[in-house]
Amino acid sequence: MAGEEQQQKGVLLVDGIRITSVFDNWGVREEVQTAWGFAAIIEANGMAPILFDSGSEGLKLLKNMEILGFDPKQLSTVVLSHEHWDHVGGIEVLLKENPEMDVFIPATFSRGLKAILKRAARSVIEVKDARQILPGVLTTGVMGDSIPEQSLVLATNRGGVLITGCAHPGIVNILERTNSLVDHVFMALGGFHLRDATELDIQAILERFRDLGVQYAGPCHCSGDAAKQAFQNAYDARYLDIKAGTRLDLAGL
């Protein structure tokens, strides 16, 4: 449950965390459907499951949720990282299944998409700055200029768990922002947007991960094969192989 007394930098801590990837380019088994995009469900003691991003196809998102044991009506909160189709493409179909949700979006979203979401959801909350949106659950605030994006942070007694959509503002920049919100980043996973990065770039990023004390890393979606291999080599047993259907129970790590 979210701790009433335990805090980091004035932020309540949350425990009992399980993260399930419900949409990705690759799947853990044949029946889990795949397509370009990303979505994950975060469970924590004391709160309803949270959906981060919605993948590119709503019907595939719903099918994967069914396969993985999630009822759309269990959700009460959705956080969308940025406006690219592979992260918001499933949201309209999902909201038809469950309109009783609060949707947190970057304030930079287009007027058209904002209008669609406001018609379909219980409420739409526009995010500009870093803030706590639920006990122990934070947004980094909107980062980046060309492709504005927010990331999700879970504050735990082991440090922050960072979940990124595509990391367009730069994964290291997002890590550094997260370090300003919690004591340090314990885990980082999601799209790192390193498909076009050079080997030297990837090694420099890995060095910053080490400097910042990131103990577990799970690049997926748009991270690129070379970056995923480099992270796997560097993190070994602490590398997280994230695919649609992957479940991470933080208590078991």
pLDDT in tens, 119-152: 999 999 999 999 999 999 999 999 999 999 999 9
Q: Is 246 left (phi over 0), alpha (psi -120 to 50) or beta?
A: beta
Structural fold of domain 8-247: Metallo-beta-lactamase; Chain A (3.60.15)
d(CA 235, CA 96): 41
Q: Taking the CB of residue 147, how many other CB atoms lie within 10 A of it?
A: 16
* pLDDT number for residue 11: 85
Q: Where are the alpha helices (DSSP H) in 73-224?
A: 85-88, 91-97, 111-120, 171-181, 199-211
Largest CA distance in the chain: 47
* pLDDT number for residue 10: 76
**Average pLDDT over the chain, rounded to an integer:** 95
* pLDDT number for residue 6: 72
* pLDDT number for residue 1: 41
CB 23, CB 53: distance < 8 Å: yes
Q: Rounded to two decimals, what is the model's pTM?
A: 0.96
d(CA 24, CA 37): 5
* pLDDT number for residue 2: 43
* pLDDT number for residue 137: 97
Length of the chain as a residue count? 253
CB 164, CB 81: distance < 8 Å: yes
Residue with token string 């103990």: 215
All residue ranges of the chain with pLDDT < 50 are 1-4
